[in-house]
């Protein structure tokens, strides 16, 4: 497996994709380059997973048991281990940005990508703004050290476009009530409904990675499809990228269920002007269903609370939509409850004395 690292044409320092400028920047000489410029420079390093076959066999024997991969950093030579779904990472020793080409090649090559549009500094600031607006959060969650652990991750998704024909029968009811003198009249009209037509849905999104908190990465949806670009490896530089481990066939039933539900909702919403409407389950005939393997950007910060539970903060790396679960400082909560009780007691005594 080839290991790639893109280098600065000026000083040979590691390059990272900059969401602010949508270019590739060097943290050492502060140079900034377009994708075309770094490709034209042909300056990147490549190293095989491990040069010594005997060493590779011995070290990877242990790694395979945990579905890990051992590779050698092309910049400093350090041995780094990743899990089976990691396709881009950063060397913990020299902080060089590394892409594992084999992880996203062949059948695992993404068709599209939405590059990060929000920088790490912006993601950290939004994290602080969000946390400070919440009560009863542990002080450690406000620390700069905690925020520095935020990671930009490209998560793998299957995105579907579909053409279909859907039809459904239903019933609408209108009830009118009026009075004439002392008599109340009620008139009920019932109508048969028929709705049918060709429907096109775009960008039905499904996570293609198991073993991850689905709520964490789905709560920040949707993404703006206008930001889609053809996939190219340089966009991964400076970020973590995960490779899919869920195939399209495994999601077929779930996607068809979504298509069915969306069709039922659309047919129901096409009826208006009636007091009540009930529709039967629609008949759906899928004519064309496409699957695009796509990488989407999310800033992620996880936190292990004192209660042992895992909490998270997630920020859509394109739109800025955020979501999360925060731990509760029980000490703060108890003091607040005690203060409220004391205030209520004092007010009760004062009011009782006045009466």
Q: Structural domain of residue 73, as residue ranges?
A: 2-104
Query: Are 188 and 274 contained in the same domain?
Result: yes
Query: Are 54 and 159 contained in the same domain?
Result: no
Query: Are 97 and 226 contained in the same domain?
Result: no
In this structure, the number of other CB atoms found within 10 A of the CB of residue 11 comes to 11
Residue 354 lies in a domain: no
Query: Are 82 and 194 contained in the same domain?
Result: no
β-strand 2-6 against 97-100: which pairing, if any? Answer: antiparallel
Residue 115 lies in a domain: no
Strand ranges in 61-216 using DSSP code E only, listed in sequence order:
68-72, 79-83, 86-90, 97-100, 112-113, 151-180, 183-207
Residue 81 lies in a domain: yes
Using only C-alpha atoms, what is the Rg of the chain?
A: 28
Residue that terminates a domain, selected from 104, 136, 166: 104
Measured between alpha carbons, how far is 49 from 149 in angstroms, rounded to an integer? 27
**Of 159, 273, 168, which Cα lies nearest the Cα of 208?**
159
In this structure, the number of other CB atoms found within 10 A of the CB of residue 96 comes to 23
Residue that terminates a domain, selected from 73, 104, 135: 104
Query: Are 185 and 87 contained in the same domain?
Result: no
Residue 342 lies in a domain: no
Measured between alpha carbons, how far is 225 from 131 in angstroms, rounded to an integer? 29
DSSP 108-140: G--SEE----S-HHHHHHHHHHHHHTSSS--GG
**256 with 154: CB under 8 angstroms?**
no
CB burial of residue 246 (10 Å; 0-12, 13-18, 19+): middle
**Of 240, 259, 262, which Cα lies nearest the Cα of 251?**
259
Query: Are 164 and 295 contained in the same domain?
Result: yes
Over the chain (355 residues), what is each successive 10-residue block's mean pLDDT? Answer: 64 74 75 78 51 44 47 59 68 59 76 94 88 67 72 93 97 94 93 96 93 81 93 86 92 96 95 92 96 94 73 90 74 46 51 53
Q: pTM for the full model? A: 0.73
Measured between alpha carbons, how far is 100 from 35 in angstroms, rounded to an integer? 19
Q: What is the pLDDT of residue 129?
A: 85
Query: Are 157 and 298 contained in the same domain?
Result: yes
Residue 50 lies in a domain: yes
Residue 139 lies in a domain: no
Q: What is the pLDDT of residue 207?
A: 93
Q: Where are the alpha helices (DSSP H) in the chain?
A: 35-41, 53-65, 120-132, 144-147, 214-218, 248-269, 330-354
Measured between alpha carbons, how far is 47 from 7 in angstroms, rounded to an integer? 14
Residue 346 lies in a domain: no
Query: Are 65 and 204 contained in the same domain?
Result: no
Query: Are 74 and 176 contained in the same domain?
Result: no
Q: What is the pLDDT of residue 98?
A: 64
Q: What is the pLDDT of residue 54?
A: 45
What total of structural domains would you count in the chain?
A: 2
| 175, 176, 180, 184 alpha-carbon torsion, rounded to 10° | 20
Query: Are 75 and 185 contained in the same domain?
Result: no
Query: Are 155 and 100 contained in the same domain?
Result: no
Query: Are 13 and 77 contained in the same domain?
Result: yes
Residue 122 lies in a domain: no
């Amino acid at each position: 497996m080839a290991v790639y690292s893109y280098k600065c044409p000026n000083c040979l320092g590691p390059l990272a994709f900059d969401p602010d400028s949508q270019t590739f920047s060097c943290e050492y000489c502060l140079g900034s380059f377009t994708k075309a410029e770094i490709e034209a420079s042909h300056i990147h390093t490549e190293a095989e997973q491990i040069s010594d076959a005997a060493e590779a066999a011995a070290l990877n024997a242990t790694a395979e048991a945990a579905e890990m991969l051992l590779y050698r950093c092309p910049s400093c030579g350090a041995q780094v281990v990743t899990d089976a779904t990691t396709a881009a990472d950063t060397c913990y020793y020299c902080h060089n940005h590394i892409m594992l080409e084999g992880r996203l090649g062949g059948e695992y090559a993404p068709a599209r990508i939405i590059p990060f549009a929000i920088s790490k500094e912006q993601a950290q600031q939004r994290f602080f703004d969000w946390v400070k607006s919440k009560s009863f959060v542990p002080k450690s969650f406000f620390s700069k050290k905690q925020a520095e652990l935020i990671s930009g991750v490209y998560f793998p998704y299957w995105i579907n476009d579909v053409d279909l024909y859907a039809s459904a029968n239903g019933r609408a009811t209108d009830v009118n009530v009026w009075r004439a003198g002392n008599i109340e009249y009620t008139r009920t009209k019932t109508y048969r409904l028929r709705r049918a037509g060709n429907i096109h849905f775009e960008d039905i999104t499904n996570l293609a990675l198991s073993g991850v908190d689905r709520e964490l990465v789905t709560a920040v949806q949707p993404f703006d499809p206008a930001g889609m670009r053809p996939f190219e490896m340089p966009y991964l530089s400076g970020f973590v990228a995960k490779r899919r481990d869920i195939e399209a066939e495994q999601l077929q039933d779930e996607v068809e269920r979504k298509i069915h539900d969306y069709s039922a909702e659309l047919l129901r919403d096409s009826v208006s002007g009636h007091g009540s409407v009930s529709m039967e389950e629609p008949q759906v005939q899928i004519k064309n269903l496409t699957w695009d393997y796509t990488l989407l950007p999310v800033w992620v910060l996880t936190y292990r609370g004192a209660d042992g539970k895992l909490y998270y903060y997630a920020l859509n790396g394109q739109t800025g939509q955020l979501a999360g679960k925060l731990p509760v400082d029980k000490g703060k909560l108890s003091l607040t409850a005690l203060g409220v009780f004391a205030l209520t007691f004092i007010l009760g005594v004062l009011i009782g004395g006045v009466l």
